[in-house]
Amino acid sequence: MGEGTGLGLATAFRIVETRHGGSLTVESVPGNTTFSVWLPFRSTTIDLPDEPPS
């Protein structure tokens, strides 16, 4: 299997936990690794135009 730089997981952690207040977990046993990403739900209302821009 290929090897990476390891920066992808650090970047994902920073985005999920620091920027969005979520969590990133990993469970690993030989032959099976599972990553879980949990993000908080925030309900917001935005005003959308009646018609798309032309």
Q: Which two tokens stand for residue 11?
A: 């970047």
Strand, coil or helix: what is 31?
Answer: coil
End-to-end CA distance of the chain: give it in Å, rounded. 48
Q: How much is the pLDDT for 24?
A: 93
Q: How much is the pLDDT for 44?
A: 74
Answer yes or no: are the C-beta atoms of 35 and 22 closer than 8 Å: no
Q: How much is the pLDDT for 30?
A: 93
Full pLDDT tens readout for the chain, 54 residues: 557 776 788 899 999 999 889 999 999 999 999 999 999 887 777 777 777 766
Q: How much is the pLDDT for 54?
A: 67
This prediction's pTM: 0.57
Q: Which two tokens stand for residue 9?
A: 């997981």
